[in-house]
Amino acid sequence: MPSISLINHTLSRLVTIVVFFACVFFNDNIQANEPFADTDTKNILRHVYLNNDSSKGNLRHAQIKRAIATAVGNALGRHVTHHGCPFSRCIADLKSGDADIIIAIYAAKKREQFLEYFQLMENVRKMPFYVRTGEEQILSQYEDFYDLAVGVVSGYAYFDPFDLDTKINKHIVNSETQLPKLLLANRIDAFNSYLPDILKTYPEISRATYQPNQPSIALVSVSRQSPHFEYLTNYLPLVIKQLLSDGQLEEICKTHGPCFSALQNLYLQQKAVTK
């Protein structure tokens, strides 16, 4: 009859073998089903959004962007964390890979080196530039920028070729709210802004004659330094198509909207196609 110690030793070896094969089996399944298994944040997508203004319009846009990011994460089976930040910080995090995605920003050429754009949306709106009242004609064509000091916000993209034009005298600030005050103090000559009720708040300011077209907007942009970049580039087009076809984006706009016109046009076009 085997001794008690021999029985215990045999049982111990059997347990070790069972555990070993169980680990191999389950690890293989995890690797097959979890594209992010080699990262500490394998189930998390880090979404950043502009959060440097507490106006109603910006709060509404932030809600819409968070809802879209969450819908994208749900479709991918991933938890989404939301981080509000000044735009320059958001852009810095996307450059470094500390953030994974951002929703609805201009698809500017100058950002293509660190962002991949998905679902470009045509933008039919004009980009408003403002000058002092009575000086509307000082900016009547693109070439007039070369004679002006133009206020711009750090990290913002405007339009091509303006963004990469080094011949324009650009006065960089941290917040859009600084620009009207700088204009009225004669520190700058023109600026672009989407601040609500700006003409009512500052009657000494008017729209310039020159109003360029806004660039296209990317529904989702992915950091090229994201640990999930390859996975997202493979599956995001399918996810976006699903969110459009099943009406989730439209529902987000109805719940938190109205959405910005480019997104509204996108899902209205989808509805027309599916009818």
Structure tokens at 59: 């709060």
pLDDT score of 223 = 97
**Mean pLDDT in each 10-residue stretch from start to end of the chain (275 residues)?**
49 41 33 36 86 67 92 94 91 95 92 94 88 97 98 90 95 93 97 88 96 91 96 95 90 82 74 63
CA pair distance 212, 20, nearest whole angstrom: 65
Radius of gyration of the chain (CA): 26
Structure tokens at 158: 């405007």
99: nearest Cα among 85, 110, 112: 85
pLDDT score of 41 = 57
**Which residues have CB under 8 Å from 148's CB, separation 6+?**
138, 139, 168, 169, 188, 189, 190
| DSSP code per residue over 113-176 | TTEEEEEEE---SB--EEEETT-GGGSSSGGGGGGSEEEEETT----TTGGG-TTSEEEEES-T
Domains of the chain: 44-123+215-274 (3.40.190.10), 129-207 (3.40.190.10)
pLDDT score of 70 = 96
At residue 206, φ and ψ (nearest 5 deg) are -135, 165
194: nearest Cα among 165, 222, 217, 223: 217
pLDDT score of 275 = 59
CA pair distance 123, 262, nearest whole angstrom: 5
pLDDT score of 124 = 76
Give me the residues paired with residue 52 across strands: none
Q: Are 95 and 223 in contact (CB under 8 A)?
A: yes
Q: How far is CA 175 from CA 88, 105, 122, 201, 226, in A?
A: 10, 17, 26, 17, 27
CA pair distance 78, 45, nearest whole angstrom: 7
Q: How far is CA 102 from CA 80, 90, 128, 138, 270, in A?
A: 11, 8, 24, 36, 22
- Within the chain, residue ranges assigned H as helices are 4-33, 56-76, 87-96, 178-184, 198-201, 229-245, 248-256, 261-274
pLDDT score of 76 = 93
pLDDT score of 78 = 92
Strands 217-223 and 115-121: antiparallel
pLDDT score of 261 = 76
